[in-house]
Chains A and B, each alone.
Chain A
Amino acid sequence: MPEQPYEPERAIAGTGMGGTMDLGASEAVTLDRTPGGPAGPGPADRPRSLWSDAWRDLRRNPVFLVSGLIIVFLVFISLWPSAITSGSPFTCDLAKAQDGAQPGHPFGYDGQGCDVYTRTVYGARTSVTVGLCATLGVALTGSVLGGLAGWFGGPWDSVLSRITDVFFAIPVVLGGLVLLSVVTTNTVWPVVGFMVLLGWPQISRIARGSVITVKQNDYVQAARALGASDARILLRHIAPNAVAPVIVVATIALGTYISLEATLSYLGVGLKPPSISWGIDISAASPYLRNAPHALLWPSGALAVTVLAFIMLGDAVRDALDPKLR
């Protein structure tokens, strides 16, 4: 009834609530408040949502700020490594092999006499690309497939669960050796693809379980009783409530993918020199651990800080998306 305003009911409502006069007054107050209100931005002026509240919360969270800064910095040096380095990662001098820190070369030299600082900065691009892309791919594929299996249930769920079982049965290292040994291009994409292929079942299982738990809640039934479409229920009710475990597992997995890239490179099926990655440098430095620990320490440290930053970011985002923790 668009042409019929709400006022008559309000008037009746007033008789039960302590008089129409009061309600009229409260309405006037409401109108007064809209342009600005006496107390600045009043609590009820602007419509708020989960995402805007989460963002407000995150901006004041030191954990988020620190991890966000680290990640922004990592992305920056991945895009423009030359901004903070002057040398080339390929200028190596065997005479300086395994030397320690020197002026202008704060991280020292590795086994081939290359500057560790330059190589660590240049290695960020590969490692961050592999970590981010593999995690995004795994999280998207896994949560969409797992979420749909959990949502639709029945035969879809059975088929998908058996497929995830099959993928779980593939050993990662052996699978990598077999699948990646046939790849000839020396880019990160086959590695990323391999990680998505073997990684999605993990997220898919978590997303499936999470969606099954959430869809039993009465608010899903309530939305359905209101006539909400499946898409609306999935996006507004299921997804925000089912996403927390996916975020946690995905951010932890991000570190695993960066290390897995290192493992695969070490086995010779990942990236091959002259590509630069932390994984390659870590594996190259491990034989000289006693003589030149710094060559191992710096790329591993960078890897650890990166992984930690992403895990902290994931935790902060998960907490911000849970209104109960505010």
Chain B
Amino acid sequence: MAAGVEPILEVCGLVKHYPLTRGVLIRKQVGAVKAVDGVDFSLGKGETLGIVGESGCGKSTVAKLLVRLERPTAGAVKYKGEDITVLSGRARKEVSRNIQMVFQDPYTSLNPRMTVGDIIGEPFEIHPGAAPKGDRRRRVRELLDVVGLNPEYINRYPHQFSGGQRQRIGIARGLALRPEVIVADEPVSALDVSVQAQVINLLDRLQSEFDLSYVFIAHDLSVVRHISDRVAVMYLGRIVETGRDTEIYDHPTHPYTQALLSAVPVPDPGARERRERIILTGDVPSPTNVPSGCRFRTRCWKAQERCAREVPLLAVPEAFRGTSGPAAHASACHFAEEAAPVPGKGSGPGRHGAPDPAPEKGNGPG
């Protein structure tokens, strides 16, 4: 799954601020929650971009902005070169056929009072051009089949399914309109680990079958690594480091990424004792009151005066600019340097790969 040449989705300077107001009759804006504060990335055809970050860093807001559930405060989301944030009415509806979402919680993302057939068939009712009326039931059965559910379940209700099966239903609904991009907002974090693997493998298989591009959002680093071609690490509304999966996982240069990776459980007890864990001090600053300069400086052990003055740009750091090694990827840090998260061992790829919850790729779901 190599990155495509032509980006199918391009995000430029995406900003979402939620205003904080005070007053009953005369509302006065007293501040803003800067949920997303200048995010840029692009997604190639057939590519998977993983977005990781801790709770409250703006991952889910990015997902909502991509599928137009929220209006951005500034910035653009370009689908095949066209800014979709300014579209409305029919044009917007047309775009929604091509960018679909898979939700985090399979228990609230399916209407409990609709049959599975109605849930998966709803996209066809909203977009009558997608399938002729007489053909819809057949399509729904096929979709159930494609996501590994028995087509006979078409008349059942969501509560008759397990969490993993429900997530498959949610995926089938997302696939119904044959979109090109699927935004998956923590699609497996509500599931058991064994079921996570099945759903991840299903997403993997569907990607090659339908030539899908994924924006895969998660807080679980190992899950993201398993499925992603490229990874972006978010902190407090911004991307702090981005690169191919091996670049991020094996050669992180941003201190935040290094800290995140050092927190991943290591299954090997020997390696676990030898590795150095980076324990960050303090809490994530409030998104209403973002630190000046580098956002991470309040918790960073490398922070110096420069970090408070200058906002580090998301670019290949100077130290690695001439090189072509895996450390030469975009990292928003003034003092970016490569540090092996697990010292005392060579830095071969996959060495400190986190416990892989999923069995080998290519295995069909159970």
Contacts and interface: CB of A to CB of B under 8 A. Distances in A.
B110 interface: yes
Interface stretch (A43-51, A129-137, A254-262): A43-51
A225 B68 contact: yes
Given A50-B115, A218-B109, A241-B113, A225 B100 contact: yes
Which of A9, A13, A23 is the most central at the interface, judged by chain B CB atoms within 10 Å of its CB? A13
B155 to A, nearest CB: 5
B170 A222 contact: yes
A232 B108 CA distance: 18
B145 A227 contact: no
Nearest to A221: B69
Range class of the A interface residue count: 35 or more
A10 interface: yes
Interface string A238-262: 0011000000000000000000000
A219 B108 contact: yes
Interface in A258-312: none
Given A2-B132, A323-B157, A226 B96 contact: yes
A23 B108 contact: no
Contacts of A50: 113-115, 118
Interface stretch (B136-144, B223-231, B328-336): B136-144
Contacts of A12: 209
Interface in B141-172: 141-142, 145-146, 148, 151-155, 157, 159, 170
Contacts of A227: 92-93, 96-97, 126-127
Contact of A225 (B69, B111, B118): B69
Given A226-B122, A227-B96, A23 B115 contact: no
B67 interface: yes
Interface residues of B, number: 53
A96 interface: no
B209 A237 contact: no
A59 interface: no
Contacts of A219: 108-111
Nearest to B104: A218
Contacts of B145: 10, 13, 17, 23, 26
A217 B106 CA distance: 11
Contact of A228 (B126, B139, B364): B126
Interface string A122-161: 0000000000000000000000000000000000000000
Contact of B209 (A2, A13, A236): A13
Contact of B103 (A222, A236, A241): A222
A236 B170 CA distance: 17
Contacts of B154: 44, 47
Interface in A29-65: 30, 43-44, 47-50, 53
B178 to A, nearest CB: 7
A223 B110 CA distance: 10
A13 B100 contact: no
Interface string A209-238: 000000001110111111110001000110
A221 B64 CA distance: 9
25 contacts: A13-B145, A16-B209, A43-B152, A47-B115, A47-B117, A48-B117, A49-B118, A50-B115, A53-B115, A217-B108, A219-B108, A221-B69, A221-B103, A222-B101, A222-B103, A222-B109, A223-B126, A225-B67, A226-B96, A226-B127, A237-B111, A241-B113, A322-B113, A323-B157, A324-B159
Interface of A: 1-2, 6, 9-10, 12-13, 16-18, 23, 26, 30, 43-44, 47-50, 53, 217-219, 221-228, 232, 236-237, 240-241, 321-324
